[in-house]
Amino acid sequence: MALPAESLQSLQQIDLLQGLRAAEQEVVAQAARRCRVEQEASFFQQGDPAVFLYVLLKGRVKLTQLTPEGQEVILRFIAPGEMFGGIAALGDASYPTTAEASKDCLALAWDGQTMTHLMERYPRIALNALKRLAARLQEVQDRYRELATERVERRVARTFLRLIRQAGVKQEGGVLIDLTLSRQDLAEMSGTTLFTVSRLLSRWEREGLIESKRKRVLVCRPHALVAIAEDLPANSPPKEPSEP
């Protein structure tokens, strides 16, 4: 099935296809299925057989995981151009997470066998996938280190900075985290309690670091969060925050 022009134009933004010529990108995209998932529906559930590798074209996807106690934990958010469900390309396995559409989504989906053939034909795809999986592993290791060694305020600040990278939208007055997140969600992502997060965010609002806007958060002073995350003295110039 032919892809619409707008989808073809977005191929240059897809991490998995970086380094391929435009004609090669189109061949790879034409081998995929187009998958539309409505808000709050799922691409796959934790424990489902890993059948498809996905690349998001439009929307936002939330990756979550259930703990043995049945608690849902948010792991990360997927932005357009990013890959998810990559374990499907590695053979017989099940998805370790649930992928839920936070907004109406459009994605490309390749079954594992098709993606294996494409990787053999275009080794650059395999290299790109390996880089993305390695980056995700590094992110998990960083979060484990934060939980083991850092005080709560630094962990919450780092959580906000990750959310800015994953779903930040520049606006007048700061960077809007374009996601509907409860304080309980933020507590779980930071490895702390709802009480602690509520107290900390209320203080940050009083200090003008953040502002709550219609169930979303506007980060008014990203540099201040960088200073907290890096544990810099108040009078030290913080590093530039990553572009959303």
d(CA 217, CA 29): 35
Task: Yes or no: say if 98 and 56 are a contact pair by the CB < 8 Å rule.
Answer: no
- Tell me, what DSSP letter sits at residue 230? T
Share of the chain above pLDDT 90, in %: 56
d(CA 161, CA 154): 11
For CA atoms 41, 47, 51, 54, give the dihedral sign: positive
Tens-place pLDDT, residues 173-224: 899 998 888 888 888 888 888 999 999 999 999 999 999 877 789 999 999 9
- pLDDT the model gives residue 237: 47
- pLDDT the model gives residue 3: 53
d(CA 175, CA 228): 17
Q: Which region among 7-16, 104-113, 162-171 has the lowest average model confidence (pLDDT)?
A: 7-16
pLDDT confidence bin for 233, thresholds 50/70/90: low
Please, what's the b/e burial string for 207-241 (b: 16 or more CB within 10 A of its CB; e: otherwise)? eebbeeeeeebbbbbbebbbbbbeeeeeeeebeeb
d(CA 164, CA 224): 14
Whether this prediction's pTM lies above 0.85 is answered by: no
Tens-place pLDDT, residues 148-175: 677 899 999 999 999 998 888 998 889 9
- pLDDT the model gives residue 167: 87
d(CA 85, CA 243): 25
From residue 156, give the alpha-carbon distance in Å to each of 90, 181, 222: 34, 14, 13
